[in-house]
Amino acid sequence: MDMQMDHYHMHTYVPGQPIEKPQTKWIWKVFWILLAVTAVEVSFAFLNDGGSGHKNYLPAVGEKWLFISLTLVKAFYIVFHFMHLKDEKFNFKLTISLTTTFLIYFIALMMYEGYALRDNQMIRPDFFHRIYHESHGGAAHDDAAAHGAAEHGASELQEESHH
């Protein structure tokens, strides 16, 4: 059963065959690249204090994109070198990497969705109460919501509308 092979060519071990010398130079090269990129990321996070304003070498948006691009650099080295994707056939490289690039569109969409959720306050605790009151002729209730009733429970909200 061990002799069963797939229909592609593979080097197999012949007993007594001499063992070659290790070729590990490229592995350590990739290791140093990964380590250096991580060091740059961490030192930037360390030096760039962001909100505190003491030391701000880079605006927050720039820092964000720097981190994302450096992370993609690391991802490239891990996938193409450590996982040997660079040695595969072109079609296989495409099969693996092209599918994941569509994620970029998804990410961009959802990040804007997050900002929209914040700005429109769609899912505040009183959202469904507001809809309920609006559909039952309580337009005045918008004022209560604007004055911070959002943090109160439903029963308090109704009590306030009676006062």
Look up residue 4 and give its two tokens: 């069963």
71 binding other proteins? (CB under 8 A): yes
Binding to other proteins by CB under 8 A, coded x per residue (else -) over 116-145, reads -xx---------------------------
- Tell me the residue length of the chain: 163
Stretch that binds other proteins, among 28-36, 132-140, 144-152, 153-161 (CB under 8 A): 28-36
Q: Minimum distance between the CB of residue 65 and other proteins, rounded to whole angstroms? A: 10
| CA distances from residue 39 to 35, 50, 66, 69, 121 in whole angstroms, order as listed | 6, 18, 13, 14, 39
Q: Which CB sits closer to other proteins, 63 or 160?
A: 63
CB 77 within 8 A of CB 33: yes
36 binding other proteins? (CB under 8 A): no
- What b/e readout covers 84-102, taking b as 16+ CB neighbours within 10 angstroms? eeeeeeeeeeeeeeeeeee
Which residue shows structure tokens 């080295």? 77
Binding site for other proteins (CB under 8 A): 2, 6-13, 17, 19-20, 22-24, 27-28, 31, 34-35, 38, 41-42, 45-46, 50-51, 63-64, 67-68, 71, 74-75, 78-79, 82-84, 88-89, 91-92, 95-96, 99-100, 103, 106-107, 110-111, 113-115, 117-118
